[in-house]
Amino acid sequence: MIDKLLIYFSNLPKEVVVLILSFLPISELRGAIPVGLSIYNLGLTKTLFLAFLGNFSFVIPFLWFLNSLHSYFMKIPFYNKFFCWWYNRVKPRTKNIEKYEYIGLVIFVGIPFPVTGAWSGCIASYILGLNFWKSVVAILLGIIIAGVVVTISTLGLTQIFNFIF
């Protein structure tokens, strides 16, 4: 999937591609960091800055949207169908968040597994009715943890591949 996005975005500057990848719910920083470090060789500082910026940039507007405008958009069939599909994918994973609240939200966002991350963390916060600003902080901490995990994984894999080949 990431390779198709890279082809689609091939005419854009590398920094913009990393920023976009980190913003998208499909890849988030879990896709952007490996691309920035391993494919584009942007350097650690630049890659992390762009990945964190892109991944966090939507959190406040999206949480505000869910808390303010979401009920109006549910009347639109396409939106309703998509949100219900996403809700059904996220809801089973919210048990630990419900139990541990904000610590659970940090862990949910911070562990780089499919259907976890900042976008799904916003949905989980909305589903559970968690406090807006506490959720923003928890999601930010989760993004930082995920960034560290993905960076360590990426640099480790890069070093292994360099050694082998």
**Distance from C-alpha of 35 to C-alpha of 80, rounded to nearest angstrom:** 33
Encode pLDDT of 27-48 as tens digits: 999 999 999 999 999 999 999 9
- Predicted TM-score of the model (pTM): 0.85
If you average pLDDT over every residue of the chain, what do you get? 89
pLDDT at position 115: 79
Encode pLDDT of 76-97 as tens digits: 999 999 889 988 888 887 877 8
pLDDT at position 5: 76
Residues of the chain with pLDDT under 70: 1, 157-165
pLDDT at position 117: 93
pLDDT at position 92: 83
Closest CA to 106 of 78, 142, 70: 142
Placement of tokens 């807006």 in the chain: 132
**Distance from C-alpha of 38 to C-alpha of 101, rounded to nearest angstrom:** 35
pLDDT at position 132: 96
